[in-house]
Amino acid sequence: MSEAAVAVRDLRLRWPGAGADCLAIDRFELGAGERVFLQGPSGSGKSTLLALIGGVLAPTAGCISVAGQALGTLSSSARDRFRADHIGFIFQLFNLLPYLSARDNILLPCRFSAARRERLQRAGRTPDEEVLRLAAHLDLPPELLARRASELSVGQQQRVAAARALIGGPGLVVADEPTSALDADRQAAFLDLLQGECAASGAALLFVSHDPRLAARFDRVLNLADISHAAGGAS
């Protein structure tokens, strides 16, 4: 459990054809269960860093480990499985499947990940029971669970996306500006719910936002420019 949730060493990311690195991070660690607020100017590479940590993007150089697993040593299919097992993503536009119900959206990671199903089993809960538990904790009325994602409000979609990220207890939750569509009160309320669930499951949270008002709610605030000597200087 003391293994860092994320460890980055000597990371470089240069986009093909670019004359300079987009990211150059010598060292970055996110502790197990730690909650970090990541900020930085538009275009500085925050989403790129999340994609690298998720193994969706391969670095030009350097090493990224998640829960002690070096992503670069995995084949691409093993990396996909590892991501499904260990990382919950919440995207800015939520990326829900609009034709599926809220319940089926939340259940999706359990369909792809035996590890998530096993963790639930060890906790003595079925995936369906966990959907109900998460919905209650995230303030989603149970009658909404049968509705298609496309028929939910933005705030409800956001909470469905959070439940989908959290189901089956991944050790790392990564959120890319998931509150930008909400007003300030709702942003704070959503963050309280998300952090409560991460604390309950012991998940680390890496949260990207442009809203400095949310920063005080985190263990640590990081500006990408302070850890990347290329951030924002890609040209």
Q: Using CB under 6 A, list all residues that contact ligand ATP.
A: 15, 22, 40, 42-48, 234
Minimal distance, residue 158 CB to ligand ATP, in Å: 17
Whether the CB-CB separation of 6 and 38 falls below 8 Å is answered with no
Minimal distance, residue 229 CB to ligand ATP, in Å: 15
Nearer to ligand ATP, 48 or 195 (CB): 48
Nearer to ligand ATP, 89 or 102 (CB): 89
Minimal distance, residue 19 CB to ligand ATP, in Å: 12
Nearer to ligand ATP, 50 or 145 (CB): 50
Nearer to ligand ATP, 156 or 209 (CB): 209
Minimal distance, residue 13 CB to ligand ATP, in Å: 8
What's the order of all strands across the beta sheet hosting 69-70? 23-30, 6-13, 61-66, 69-70
Integer angstrom CA distances of residue 58 from 42, 73, 88, 206? 21, 11, 19, 19
Q: Where are the alpha helices (DSSP H) in the chain?
A: 46-53, 76-86, 102-112, 114-122, 127-137, 154-166, 184-201, 224-227
